[in-house]
Chain A
């Protein structure tokens, strides 16, 4: 059974960079695309981007200039960096496994990141 677990700071200051890690267990990170999705408190879901271990990555154009997604195959981990954050970036951040027809079948528990000084 594939399991995903997000980790990282729960509080980030405005204008700084948000950094999160997703550890994948129960399967190899080299077999699929892996994605980040976020959900502001009380609001809907927003796709951030996804990446394949060999380098192919795709981002939401609305966030592309601020997003970096990377994969560390030695640790079976996916990472997210979101730069120049504002309060609007406060959200629960999920990592998820993307399947070929663009759906997400396994999700992490989510990590709440608050942007505040």
Chain B
């Protein structure tokens, strides 16, 4: 059981907007540690999608955006496309565990 809680699955139709939540606590997101997001397409390596709460690496479309407030963070995907179907993971640092931690992952299904 991860200290960063994500919904196991979300879904949306092409063109729609979906959000994936990442809920933490006062020892991770609430303590001010950054949250980062990764996309893992089926059978592939995780890819950095968002870093430092809301920054996008070069090459990541602006359809992907991140936000953080208090003990929660979210990843938003607008203009949903079939190729967005993947697992998404949030990641941060937890001071109680003294460890980098990942959320359990959310499977996005494009209907």
Contact = CB atoms under 8 A, between A and B. Distances in A.
Interface in A19-66: 44-47, 60-62
A45 B45 contact: no
B46 A103 contact: no
A100 to B, nearest CB: 10
Where chain A touches its partner, the secondary structure class is loop
Contacts of B89: 44-45
Instruction: Categorize the interface residue count of chain B.
Output: 20 to 34
Nearest to A48: B100
B51 A99 contact: yes
Interface stretch (A71-79, A83-91, A107-115): A107-115
A101 B45 contact: no
Contacts of B100: 47, 60, 102
Contact of B45 (A60, A61, A94): A94
A35 to B, nearest CB: 8
B57 A105 contact: yes
Given A44-B104, A44-B105, A105-B57, A110 B99 contact: no
Interface of B: 2, 33-34, 36, 38, 45-48, 51-52, 57, 89, 91-93, 97-105
30 contacts: A44-B2, A44-B89, A44-B102, A44-B104, A45-B38, A45-B46, A45-B91, A46-B102, A47-B99, A47-B101, A47-B102, A60-B100, A61-B97, A62-B99, A101-B34, A101-B36, A101-B51, A101-B52, A102-B34, A102-B92, A102-B93, A103-B51, A103-B52, A103-B91, A104-B36, A105-B48, A107-B45, A107-B47, A108-B45, A109-B45
Closest 6 pairs (CB-CB, A-B): A103-B36, A47-B100, A45-B102, A103-B51, A44-B105, A107-B45
Interface of A: 44-47, 60-62, 94, 99, 101-105, 107-110
